Amino acid sequence: MKKVVIGMSGGVDSSVAAIILKKQGYDVIGLFMRNWDASLNNDILGNPTLNENICPQEQDYNDALKVCEEIGIPLHRVDFVKEYWDYVFTYFLDELKKGRTPNPDIMCNKYIKFDMFVKEAEKLGADYIATGHYARLKDGNLLRGIDENKDQTYFLSQLTEKQLDHVLFPIGDLEKKEVRKIAEEYHLTTAKKKDSTGICFIGERNFKNFLKNYLPNIPGDIVDIDSKKVLGKHIGLMYYTIGQRKGLEIGGSTDKIFVVGKDLEKNILYVAYGEDNPYLISTECIVDTVNWISKEKPISCTAKFRYRQKDNPVKLEYLSDGTILVQYEQGVKSVTPGQACVFYQGEVCLGGGIIKEVRKDHKKLWYL
């Protein structure tokens, strides 16, 4: 009997993935990863509905433990707090300092879930590892999950073919509603548990309250990029991302005002009126930290510049320094440095990189 070690997060997806593996005849072992020392931050929980006597991560562990008891598999626990700090959280802070918008979940998959986790699973004698991601594997290719609204290949784009070699994604062929149904049929503790949202280590905490513990707030002007008028004050450039329209400290309605850029030297946050404002739109970007899962390196394909964004047709030019010039003549809104650019050919996720620079009509957008 083949042994599978599955990452149990305390959520419904990993719970159902474990059930499916057991039904398929595998010897299933659960492994819970403790990636964050929440006790350091338990005084800044921003959601009054949370039980402040127990941190969210501990609640997740308790839920994972109950599920494993309910389906009859053992659960081990491993501490990756130091590794997570070194490889994910430090990266997150460094990117924010540069005025970029990082995606730490992608780096968590690359360095923790499909690296450190794998090594721990091997100690337990695993033939395979498994997770509750909505993705599929076929003939060495990473495919989108069947549920288009939940597909998570975007977050797996920095993995290598070798990292995916002995991985199983049991729920990749299911839609979310089917996953919930299975969980209810088995009367699992997590059957109706709300999906986690936001950045993994922040969870339901208030983002601003959390971040000010690590980076100082440096207030500055909010400037209309067209009129050059000062409209208000921002609380720190790190709290804003390109295309954002909520949370701006401007009097009156901000429904039609969007963040379009940052000037780090002058500490200015630039905004513009109208969701179709030309300052929001770019036609090409430079992508570095490029990783290919597929052996194919196309000159044309589709790309996503944000999770849940629709596919955009792009042309690729491979530059001598290892970066890629990604061109999209039709124009795309809110392409943001620090976010992932993920390449697709149909349902196959080819790989991706990190957006380094955004351009319009071959000129770097200075306000980014």
Q: Which residues are catalytic?
A: 108, 200
8-to-19, 64, 72, 133, 231 alpha-carbon distances in Å: 11, 6, 14, 11, 47
Q: Residue for token digits 């194919």?
A: 296
Torsions phi, psi of 79, nearest 5? -105, 115
Torsions phi, psi of 198, nearest 5? 80, -165
* Residue 133 zone, left/alpha/beta (φ > 0; ψ -120 to 50; rest): beta
What would you measure as the largest C-alpha separation in the chain, in angstroms? Answer: 69
Helices (H), 193-331: 207-211
Token readout for 300 is 């044309």
* Residue 218 zone, left/alpha/beta (φ > 0; ψ -120 to 50; rest): beta
